[in-house]
Amino acid sequence: MSSVEMVRGEEDARTNKVTDTDTNTNASKNSEKEMVILENISKAYNGNKTNRNSSNVNTSRSGSSTVLFEHIVLDNLNLRITEGEFVTIVGPSGCGKSTLLNILAGIDTSYTGKILIDGASIKRSPDTDRIIIFQEGALFPWLTVYENIEFGLKIAKISKEKRREIVMHYIDLVQLTSFAHAFVHQLSGGMKQRVAIARALVLNPKILLMDEPFAALDVQTRRMLYDQLVKIHEKTNKTILFVTHNINEAVALGDRAIIISPKIAGIKKEFKIDLPRPRQLDHPLINSITNAIIEESKEMYTSNSYFTSRYGNYSTESKPDLELESPQSQLA
């Protein structure tokens, strides 16, 4: 009972907030409240997490020193994001971008480190204050567009009239009102992603986590969605963490672009993109930052770290291999 009440309470807060941000977006932007704080996030995949027996076999075979087959994806990653900030993350395939988003979303719970959202330490479980939008959309094919967008509200047991009001607002925001009763397979790829965005927004999350949401779309559609996303960002002032492997996209969209390198299993460098929106995609500053990032990323694709990141590091307790590839030696 009380949880329902709570949700309603939140819902009211939502309506207030929307009107609030609609009128004075700038004021809240200037407040510089820290929305996301990631402290020393580390994540490693074990070669055999589920099969304990065989890991024992490995250990006994290798003799005295314990050898663990583990693949360090994130190593002591630190990141701070202020409220309303649009942060983009780039990096080569397999560098741990999706892993990072899944950790933040609470879907992946096996990591070390601390995450603070809006000042509070989070539980290791999914929560509707952080909604992830997947590359494939992950819309439910058995539901119509309307029902898909309604999903989270229905789970939260919000009343039907209230649901209708909220859904209609966001379905309008992503300009899909005329497709409310269409099924997912009747939509184009770009429309699907707009539904996914609306489906996330109805829950009024504090943070939108977007995992290569436009990667599967053609250039024209993507540009259209850039515009819409930027407009939505402006209207709702959501904190957005946007993962992409498209460097130009990262620079064109973000207030800040962060490069993740598999070599150091963490943030290699970040670029502030201080350009007002709407932005011209071929603005000289965007081009120059894009080129700088490309220059910066070149070695990520050529060095042998690619091999280790793909097939894992065999790290002994003394970790000689890892030290060779420590961040310090990289930057030197």
Partner 1 sequence: MQNIQDNNQLQTSFKEANSNRKKRISLHDLANVTLFIAAFIGIWQLVYVLGIWPEVSLPSPIRVGESFVDLFEDFTIFTSIGMTMYRLVIGFGISIAIGVTMGLIMVKFPGFGKTMSSFALGLQSFPSVAWVPFAILLIGLNDAGILFVVIMSSVFSVIILTYSGIQNIPPLYVRAAKNMGAKGISLFRFVMIPAATPSILVGIKQAWSFAWHALIGAEILIAAAVGLGHILLVGREFQLMDQVIASMITIFAIGLLFDRVLFSKLEERVRERWGLDQSIER
Ligand X SMILES: Nc1ncnc2c1ncn2[C@@H]1O[C@H](COP(=O)(O)OP(=O)(O)OP(=O)(O)O)[C@@H](O)[C@H]1O
> Interface with ligand X by CB under 6 A: which residues?
45, 71, 73, 91, 93-99, 245, 309
Report the chain's terminal Cα–Cα distance, integer Å. 59
Task: For residue 192, give the H/E element and its range.
Answer: helix 189-201
Burial of residue 122 (CB within 10 Å: 0-12, 13-18, 19+) is middle
Q: Which does 268 bind (CB under 5 to 8 A by kind): ligand X, partner 1, Mg ion, none?
A: none
Q: Which does 276 bind (CB under 5 to 8 A by kind): ligand X, partner 1, Mg ion, none?
A: none
Strand partners, 80: 37
**Nearest residue to Mg ion, by Cβ distance, number only:** 98
Cβ proximity of 192 and 184 under 8 Å:
yes
Burial of residue 211 (CB within 10 Å: 0-12, 13-18, 19+) is buried
Q: Which is nearer to ligand X, 235 or 245 (CB)?
A: 245
CB of 183 to partner 1, least distance (A): 6
Residue 178 contacts partner 1 per CB under 8 A: yes
Cβ proximity of 196 and 145 under 8 Å:
no
Q: Which does 126 bind (CB under 5 to 8 A by kind): partner 1, Mg ion, ligand X, none?
A: partner 1
CB of 162 to ligand X, least distance (A): 36
Which parts of 34-159 fold into alpha helices (H)?
A: 52-61, 97-105, 145-155
> Interacting stretch for partner 1, rule CB under 8 A, among 71-79, 142-150, 220-228, 311-319?
142-150
CB of 152 to partner 1, least distance (A): 4
CB of 108 to ligand X, least distance (A): 9
Q: How far is CA 80 from the centre of its chain?
A: 14
CB of 231 to Mg ion, least distance (A): 26
Contact residues toward partner 1 (CB under 8 A) are: 105-107, 126-128, 130-132, 134, 136, 138, 140-144, 151-152, 154-156, 177-186, 199, 203
